[in-house]
Structure 1
C-alpha cells in the first residue's frame, strides 16, 4: 500500500517506505501453525456422539480467539508500523487503533547510526538511531530491514537537503536518490 500523498508537501517525494523486518512475523507464524495443528488434533480426538458438533464448535471458537490474539494482533501491529523517508523528512507512524506519529525534518537530523547483532547481520536487519536537534531525544528504529543501507540513505538525503538550502525546490542537476527495497 503506497504512502498517502495527502501527508506530503507539493514538491516532496517518497524515497523509501519501510515496515519492520520480516523476522517480526516469525513467531506469529509459528503460533498460527501450533494453534491450527493443535486445534485440528484436538478436533479429531472429540468422540463421536450427540455432543461432537458442539464440542468442535467450542474448540473452533477457542482457536479463533487464540489466533486473533496471538497472530492477528502482531500482524496488524507490523502492518500499521511504517517508516517513510521522503526528500524532506523522516515520517514515523505506528498503532492500530490509537495512532502515534513523528515527523523529523531532514534539516534537523544531526547524527544517524546503526547497529546489528550477528543474527541481524545474517538476516539483513538492525537498529537505526537518528539524533535530531531539539528536545525529543534520539529516535530509535528497531528491526529495520537493510539497516546499513537505510542509515546511508538517510545520511545522503540529509546532505542533499543541506545542499538545497532554505530555498524551495531542487536546484537543476540534483536528482532524487532511490534505492530498491
Structure 2
C-alpha cells in the first residue's frame, strides 16, 4: 500500500492507494477482524452467507445475515463515542463487508438525481442500496424510487433490486429492511 501526502499549505491530507485486489481484500478483512473480533471461521461463514444471499437474490437471508453481523459488534465499540448516531458508520460497516467479498461495489454512486449509497454488481444482478437512520423522515426505499436511482442501470438488461435499510441507534442494528425488484 502507498500513502501519498496531499498537503496544501496548512492542511495535510493523505490518500491510501491499494495496489491490487489481493492487498485490497486483505485490507478489508483486517478491518473486519479488528471491528468484529470474531474468529476466522465465523467471519468466513458470514461472508459466505452474504455472498450466497446476493448471488441467489435471497434478500431475506441477506437481511438476517446483516442483522447478525451488527449484533456481533461488541458493545464496547460504542462506549465513549456517539458513532451509533451516524448513518455513515453503518454504511461503512456494510460497505467494508461487501468489499471484503471481492464483488464489484460502488460507494456514493452518482446519478443525475443524487447519490446511491452503495451499488453492488453480483453476477447478473445489480443491487441499489440506500441507508437511513430510523429518525430520518425519508424512507430509504422510497428515496431510491423517487429519485429513480435504478434508471442509470436499466440498459444493462440485468435484474435490479432496490434495497432500503434503516438503522436504529438504540438497538445498534437494522430496524427496517425493505426491497423490491425493478
TM-score per shorter chain, which class? under 0.3
TM-score, normalization: structure 1?
A: 0.22
Greater RCO, 1 or 2 (C-alpha within 8 Å, sep 6+):
1
Q: When the two structures are superposed, what TM-score results if normalisation uses the length of structure 2?
A: 0.22
Larger radius of gyration: 1
